[in-house]
Amino acid sequence: MQGDMLNSSVPLVSRNEKFTLSFFRSPQRSGNGWYLGVSSGDNIEGQSIWVANREMPIRDDSVVLLIDETGSLLIKHNSGDSIKLFSGQSRTNLAAVLQDDGNFVLKETNSDGTANSEPPLWQSFDLPTNSLLPGMKLGINDKTGQNWSLRSWLSYSLPTPGAFTLEWYPLEEELIVKRRGVDFWTSGKFFCSSIENIEVSTATGNYFFRQYSDQDEKYLNYTAAPCYQEDGNSVTSLWLTSDGSLVDTLTRMVKSWKEGRFLTTILKLFVYLTTGTNLSLSDCKDMCWKNCTCVGVQEKGPNPDGTGCTFLSGPLKEMKNGGSNLTIPNPDEAFYIIIPAPSEKQSIWKWILISVAAAAALVVIFFLGFFLFIRWRRLCLEGLGIVERRCSVRTSASNIT
């Protein structure tokens, strides 16, 4: 209600207790990154499913959420200017409500303080971050210019907008994941409440997609029907991860990308750094792939919040039966190594062996068929000889009679 405040120590919980609106701190911000977000008990990696200020973290815990006297919805703090989520324009009798579907809305209230039935003045569902809940939209509103799309986090614990987006293309009738504006994955066509490359029926739940189109809006949304709920409090959402994978909270997997196998050691390793704060792990992999001297990247960048890139350069060797006298920088950190493709000579021999095996198989099939044909023909001739002898005997007996 107007005049009430939500601070960093008191959350707002939905009536069904499935969703929580609260201020949280990113572990990668070393205490200097407070965010307002909606979370659920089933969210992956402890991430919030919606974040209000993902591009503007707040440096101290003085943060409060309030509706001021003009009806504006604000995040206030002592370390800078307020963040305005909605401009009230002298409205009164307003209330902010966290609904049972996870939508955080600002609505006008009736004289008795209850929210009226009119559409909300503002809602978090119109500003999706990296998660899509049932009832949310992906698409466009041609009348207002609204674009509903997902944007990944920069890393698994840093809400800053990352490298990947998920968008609905109504003319093509498909979802497209893009990395920095370049197509990364397409879902295939929408058909009869399902999408070609997305598993819609699993042991734990069923997804039902729906597209809608009129002169103003063109969008895709979905509903989900869990087959069972262990605690009766399960929440379903599709989540675009920081590496471009699309996963869900029921099965933990819809579509993911294979990283390939890891090399376990690096010999004569050289390390060089790039400290850009807007670089995610996927950016580092892309830069490494385009650099002929780069052989891998570390999972965590050199900056305090884990951004930036640590590139690896040097001759590679796989460890067999253990290893010795090998040095790996920061051994507690995971790293990703590019594995060279087989040499051209190896590829040629591979195809030669495949061709020889195929030719041998054809020869065997030919001779087996030929043998079966000869045997069949012999049996037919023998059968014909028996019939002829029987007819000859009968003819002779008839003549004697």
Per-residue pLDDT tens for 196-218?
Answer: 877 655 555 577 889 999 999 99
User: What pLDDT, on the 0 to 100 scale, is given for residue 325?
Assistant: 38
- The CATH superfamily label for domain 1-125 reads Bulb-type lectin domain (2.90.10.10)
Q: Do domains 1-125 and 128-257 have the same CATH topology?
A: yes
pLDDT, tens only, 328-366: 445 555 667 766 655 555 557 777 788 888 888 888 888
Query: Hey, what are 244's tokens?
Result: 């471009």
How much is the pLDDT for 320? 40
| Helical spans, DSSP H, in 246-400 | 281-289, 344-400
**What's the average model confidence in pLDDT over 72-90?**
88
Residues 97-148: tens digit of each pLDDT? 999 999 999 998 887 767 777 889 999 999 999 999 999 999 999 998 899 9
- Using DSSP, state whether 269 is helix, strand or coil: coil
List phi, psi (to 5°) of 282. Answer: -65, -35
Find the angle CA(102)-CA(103)-CA(106) to the nearest 5 degrees. Answer: 140
Closest Cα to residue 64, out of 89, 38, 36, 85?
36
Q: Which residues pair with 185 in a beta bridge?
A: 177
Lowest mean pLDDT among 114-118, 132-136, 243-247, 388-392: 388-392
Whole-prediction pTM:
0.72
Calpha distance 8→27 (Å, rounded):
15
Tell me: pLDDT of 384 over 90: no
Domain 128-257, CATH? 2.90.10
As a whole number of angstroms, the distance between CA 71 and CA 94 comes to 7
Q: How far apart are CA 305 and CA 277, in angstroms?
A: 8
Distance between CA atoms of 173 and 190, rounded to whole angstroms?
6
**What are the residue boundaries of the structural domains of the chain, listed by start?**
1-125, 128-257, 270-337, 345-386
